[in-house]
Structure 1
Amino acid sequence: MKNPDIVTLTVNPSLDKSTSFKGLVPEQKIRCENPEYDAGGGGINVSKAIARLGGESLCIFTSGGDAGRQLQSLLEKEKIMTQAIAVKNATRENLMALDLNTNAQYRFGFPGASLSAAEQDTILDTVNTLKPKFLVASGSLNEDVGSDFYQKMAVEAKKSGVKFIVDTSGEALQKALEAGVYLAKPNIGELAKLVGIEKLHADEADDAARTLIGKGFAQVIVVSLGPQGAVLVTREVTEFIPAPNVPKKSTVGAGDSMVGGMVWALSQGKPLGEVIRWGVACGSAATMNEGTQLFHAEDARRLFDWLGRR
């Protein structure tokens, strides 16, 4: 196997189940439709998004128990190049349920099972032996995994000249940035925490991001502004792209779709103005589909073209 240009890592993947029901009533049995299953988790969704745009990536993830095997099977059906790291404990399962009466979506996320020290070392060793152009670490960490896990990865990536892209939150994000990354994608609430203030308004995001860039935390910061869109910031460039007004059915995977669109565009050598347009287009297109489906390529391309004409 040739060395891939893009590697994604999902330390804490999930087997995602989605269903629908009519009416949420306490203490009564809720009758649900037959569930649909998807392979989930940050890096996995990024790889799926890249594949939908015609790109290739190596998707690395932990896999344990029946849920892990089902997750692997789902990815194989999508013809995504994978490398599963076997772990002792079972892969977690998440549930998304849509109330058809109100169109309200309920998302239940469960913590990942513990990973032994040896399993954590295997993950790091597996990733560090590869030398892709882009390494994407996306998603949460299992509860017993140290918050410096992505930081260790960022240090090794920098030594190897790998462009490290991180999409996580909390202390894990803070520590990764302290090591220095190529690109980070915080939302505006996370950005406020990173610069040590309680709240940021959308028009303050570029200055706050540039503060982090000035400290050497990242070369590129893309701030997700939710329904307002996103802003890409470097030392020299600020590019704001508003989110198109589309019918929203589910927000599951929208952020991961955004990252996938941007990483694909970067791998194609697109200018940063197009990189952020692809990100917003893919993220917005993902909200147009129910459950955990991510986006359809034709929707993403149509929105990308529309954003270029706005």
Structure 2
Amino acid sequence: MKRIITLTMNPAIDVAYETDRVFHTRKMRTQQEHYDPGGGGINVARVIARLGGTARAYYLSGGATGCALDGLLDKHALVRFRIPIEGDTRISTSLYEKDTGKEYRVVPRGPEVTAEEWEAALHHLDGPQAEYLVASGSLPPGVPEDFYCRVCELGQRHGMRIVLDSSGEALGAAVRGGGLYLIKPSIGELRKLTGKALADESEIAAAAREIVDSGKAEHVAVTMGHDGALLASRSGTWRLPALPVEAKSAVGAGDSFLAAMVFALGCEQDIIEAFRLGVAAGAAAVLTPGTDLCHREDVERMLKLAPKLSGPQLIEKEQAHEG
């Protein structure tokens, strides 16, 4: 298997609770408490490990909560490299209300990171360490918005394929900089990135293909929730519907999708099969409650439900109207 490393600039301890009902002011007694190491790149590394691979996780960690994060990572037996910071690692909370089936999520911005600290992250990545470098998640305060551009430039110098999953200006700056191998925006993130409404499937496909055709990224995988997912590559555009599952939590679905794609690519599968595995893993993730991620047996079961893909399925307005 190809070597994979992940980078998480804004990790978190993910806490998940269940309660019967949510009230203001009053105490809410909870059940089913779970504590997991979180943040985009860390979640990707966890899923790759569950699927039978290995990814070395680079991440920032600081304060007492940072020590707790380190311990949780060791509990999950992840190969890890800690980049120390002064600030406290954030804690993200997910609260599931059993009476209504609603989920409430509280996600802090994260600690202030100094220039010396984020530059240390670049320093530790500066070497031919892997074939794939997955940079995933938000940037904490203090990290420049073009940080992922610098990661991409660094990775290109060492022949690494850069996979990016972020949002806002961090994603926008990286796409404008170009040189990316794979990006995985949600449909909401793609709308913000392009500044377009993207009201139908043909417009989504066109926006994703424009990024590919401009040379900014070789592949664009767009996750669209209940509408499935779409992949644009130089050889064509493909779409898969959402798989039929009873959703328990949407937390971690995007990370599971991306991790499965990178795992498949690391096993030298082609991009189409990687896309199918990603859709299966995203569906498997929503089967798990709270902050849990997908499990291998669920991914394998979901993969059997994912339609086979063959040949470029160019999605055009005319085709959509014919349907």
Q: 1:200 and 1:272 mapped to 2: Cα distance?
A: 26
Q: Does 1:210 align with 2:214?
A: no
Cα offset, 1:98, TM superposition: 0.6
**Residue 262 of structure 1: aligned partner:** 261
Q: 1:34 and 1:275 mapped to 2: Cα distance?
A: 33
Cα offset, 1:33, TM superposition: 2.4
The change in CA–CA distance for 1:12 and 1:4 in structure 2 (over 3 A counts) is farther
Q: 2:187 and 2:88 mapped to 1: Cα distance?
A: 34
**Residue 273 of structure 1: aligned partner:** 272
Task: Flag as ranges the 4+ runs of structure 1 deviating above 6 A.
Answer: none
TM superposition score normalised by structure 2: 0.92
Q: For residue 294 of structure 2, what is the amino acid of its counterpart?
A: F
- Equivalent pairs: percent with the same residue? 38
Q: For residue 170 of structure 2, what is the amino acid of its counterpart?
A: A
Aligned positions of 1:117-128 closer than 5 A: 117-128=115-126
What SS does structure 2 have at the residue aligned with 1:306? Answer: coil
Aligned positions of 1:229-248 closer than 5 A: 229-248=228-247
Q: Does 1:99 align with 2:136?
A: no
Cα offset, 1:27, TM superposition: 2.4
Among residues 147, 150, 170, which one is paired with 1:149 in the alignment?
147
Contact 1:195–1:212 (Cα < 8 Å) also in 2? no
The C-alpha deviation readout for 1:212-244, integer Å capped at 9, x for no partner, is 112221000001111111111112221211111
TM superposition score normalised by structure 1: 0.95
What SS does structure 2 have at the residue aligned with 1:112? Answer: coil
**Residue 160 of structure 1: aligned partner:** 158
Q: 1:226 and 1:250 mapped to 2: Cα distance?
A: 12
Give the number of aligned pairs.
308
**Residue 19 of structure 1: aligned partner:** 17
**Residue 29 of structure 1: aligned partner:** 27
Cα offset, 1:73, TM superposition: 1.5
Query: Which moves more between the two structures, 272-281 or 31-40?
Result: 31-40
Q: For residue 289 of structure 1, what is the amino acid of its counterpart?
A: T
Q: 1:169 and 1:308 mapped to 2: Cα distance?
A: 29
Q: 1:257 and 1:34 mapped to 2: Cα distance?
A: 22
Contact 2:127–2:158 (Cα < 8 Å) also in 1? no
Extract unaligned runs of 5+ from structure 1. Answer: none
Extract unaligned runs of 5+ from structure 2. Answer: 310-323
Aligned positions of 1:1-310 closer than 5 A: 5-33=3-31, 35-180=33-178, 181-308=180-307
The change in CA–CA distance for 1:103 and 1:4 in structure 2 (over 3 A counts) is same
Q: 2:289 and 2:188 mapped to 1: Cα distance?
A: 26
Please, what is the CA RMSD of the aligned residues? 1.6
Q: 2:90 and 2:260 mapped to 1: Cα distance?
A: 26
Q: 2:283 and 2:146 mapped to 1: Cα distance?
A: 31
